[in-house]
């Protein structure tokens, strides 16, 4: 399997589906729909949609069948990025190499575009009722709500904000990363696998895989904020240090952080030992997550 080709192919599938499933700029309210499409369709890695498809494939499903769910995950992700960039949060001007949503559309519209994207995500999940059994669709709704809300991404963001400017413990930073970033990545893998009928053992193993790649991904993100190439990552480097954010390099140093990310990658891959060739994309994605340069 060639990972580069796999990622490109799945990314193209996700982007074509997003283009089709997102509201048209010809529909009212036009400005809201422009703001939504501006952020969602801006150049991103599409890691969460790709993980939905790879999770489906691991349990014998087809990537085409989980495209609406893949789009739902990217909508939730885009919502979190738009809100994360707002003046009341990180107050960032650039994201994915472009001006942030509020810089182009204003603060109120950016907030509303984010809200609408979260709602749209659940509409997309509910639309799965035409192709998958109802109990699987309900379970995916539950796990996405859990991963996005107070016990997931929002909870992680709150602890992150509360930690700014003070020393934090290893447990606290793990909590922040697991919730702010890991929860949605784990939910991505699980959404595909649950919809395509993964059994209990497979789902448990994929949950552990997701938790490990989630942590590895965020450690790699912390490292890239120090040694990354601004052109490639599409936003200024050094913003974590400037905002006195809780990061792995701050707590453990750069070299130890790299080792910890690699350890999580190995843990992730070892959780896939019950799967055969069908989980090869997930194995290679785990490696890519720590080796990436954007
Ligand atoms: C305000 C109600 C409310 C909810 C939002 C803002 C927020 C809660 C959560 C923040 C979540 C967040 C922005 C986490 C950071 C995750 C992260 C590393 C994002 C970058 O992901 P990539 O690298 O980006 O996959 P691309 O652009 O490639 O998609």
Residue 148: CA count within 13 A, CB half-sphere: 25
Grade residue 230 by pLDDT with cuts at 50, 70 and 90: confident
pTM confidence score:
0.96
How far CA 74 is from CA of 57, 106, 120, 219, 278, in Å, comes to 18, 22, 11, 21, 23
pLDDT surpassing 90 at residue 246: no
pLDDT in tens, 28-81: 999 999 999 999 999 999 999 999 999 999 999 999 999 999 999 999 999 999
Q: What is the pLDDT of residue 189?
A: 98
Which atom of ligand 1 is nearest to 95's Cα?
27
pLDDT in tens, 190-225: 999 999 999 999 999 999 999 999 999 999 999 999
- The mean-pLDDT minimum among 95-104, 224-233, 272-281 falls in 224-233
Q: What is the pLDDT of residue 15?
A: 98
pLDDT surpassing 80 at residue 243: no
Separation of 133 CA from ligand 1 center, angstroms?
A: 30
Grade residue 237 by pLDDT with cuts at 50, 70 and 90: confident
Buried b (16+ CB within 10 A) or exposed e, 118-134: bebbbebbeebeeebee
Separation of 77 CA from ligand 1 center, angstroms?
A: 6
Would you give the DSSP letter of residue 262? H
Average pLDDT of the segment spanning 99-104: 98
Separation of 91 CA from ligand 1 center, angstroms?
A: 13
- The mean-pLDDT minimum among 2-11, 63-72, 162-171 falls in 162-171
Would you give the DSSP letter of residue 94? E
In percent, the amount of the chain with pLDDT more than 70 equals 100
pLDDT in tens, 120-165: 999 999 999 999 999 999 999 999 999 999 999 999 999 999 988 8
Minimal-distance CA residue to ligand 1 atom 13? 81
The finding on whether 96 has its CB within 6 A of some atom of ligand 1 is yes
Domain chopping of the chain, boundaries: 3-291
CATH of 3-291, one of 1.10.3720.10, 3.40.50.150, 2.60.40.10, 1.10.600.10: 1.10.600.10
Q: What is the pLDDT of residue 167?
A: 87
Which atom of ligand 1 is nearest to 221's Cα?
18
How far CA 285 is from CA of 103, 212, 288, in Å, comes to 33, 12, 5
Q: Are 124 and 131 in contact (CB under 8 A)?
A: no
Grade residue 233 by pLDDT with cuts at 50, 70 and 90: confident
Separation of 130 CA from ligand 1 center, angstroms?
A: 30
Q: What is the pLDDT of residue 148?
A: 98
Q: Record the tokens describing residue 201, joined without a space.
A: 């053992």
Q: What is the pLDDT of residue 267?
A: 98
pLDDT surpassing 90 at residue 229: no
Separation of 112 CA from ligand 1 center, angstroms?
A: 16
Grade residue 234 by pLDDT with cuts at 50, 70 and 90: confident
The finding on whether 47 has its CB within 6 A of some atom of ligand 1 is yes
Minimal-distance CA residue to ligand 1 atom 29? 44
d(CA 237, CA 92): 12
d(CA 37, CA 33): 6
């Amino acid at each position: 399997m060639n990972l580069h080709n796999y990622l490109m192919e799945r990314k193209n599938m996700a982007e074509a589906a997003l283009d089709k499933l997102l509201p048209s700029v010809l529909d009212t309210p036009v400005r809201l729909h422009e703001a939504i499409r501006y952020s969602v369709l801006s150049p991103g890695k599409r890691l969460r949609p790709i993980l939905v498809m790879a999770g489906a494939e691991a349990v014998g499903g087809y990537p085409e069948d989980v495209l609406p769910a893949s789009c739902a995950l990217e909508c939730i992700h885009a919502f979190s990025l738009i809100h994360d960039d707002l003046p009341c949060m990180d107050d960032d001007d650039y994201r994915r190499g472009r001006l942030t949503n509020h810089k182009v559309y204003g603060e109120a519209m950016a907030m509303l575009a984010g809200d609408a994207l979260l709602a749209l995500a659940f509409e997309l999940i509910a639309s799965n009722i035409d192709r998958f059994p109802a109990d699987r669709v309900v379970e995916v709704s539950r796990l996405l709500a859990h991963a996005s809300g107070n016990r997931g991404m929002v909870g992680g963001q709150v602890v992150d904000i509360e930690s700014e400017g003070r020393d934090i413990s290893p447990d606290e930073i793990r909590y922040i990363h697991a919730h702010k970033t890991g929860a949605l990545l784990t939910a991505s893998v699980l959404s595909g696998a649950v919809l395509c009928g993964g059994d209990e053992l497979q789902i448990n193993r994929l949950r552990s895989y997701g938790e490990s790649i989630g942590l590895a991904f965020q450690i790699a993100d912390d490292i890239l904020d120090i040694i990354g190439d601004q052109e490639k990552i599409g936003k200024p480097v050094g913003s974590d240090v400037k905002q006195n954010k809780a990061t792995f390099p701050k707590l453990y140093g750069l070299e130890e952080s790299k080792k910890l990310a690699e350890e999580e990658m190995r843990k992730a891959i070892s959780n896939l030992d019950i799967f055969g060739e069908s989980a090869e994309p997930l194995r290679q994605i785990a490696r890519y997550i720590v080796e990436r340069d954007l």
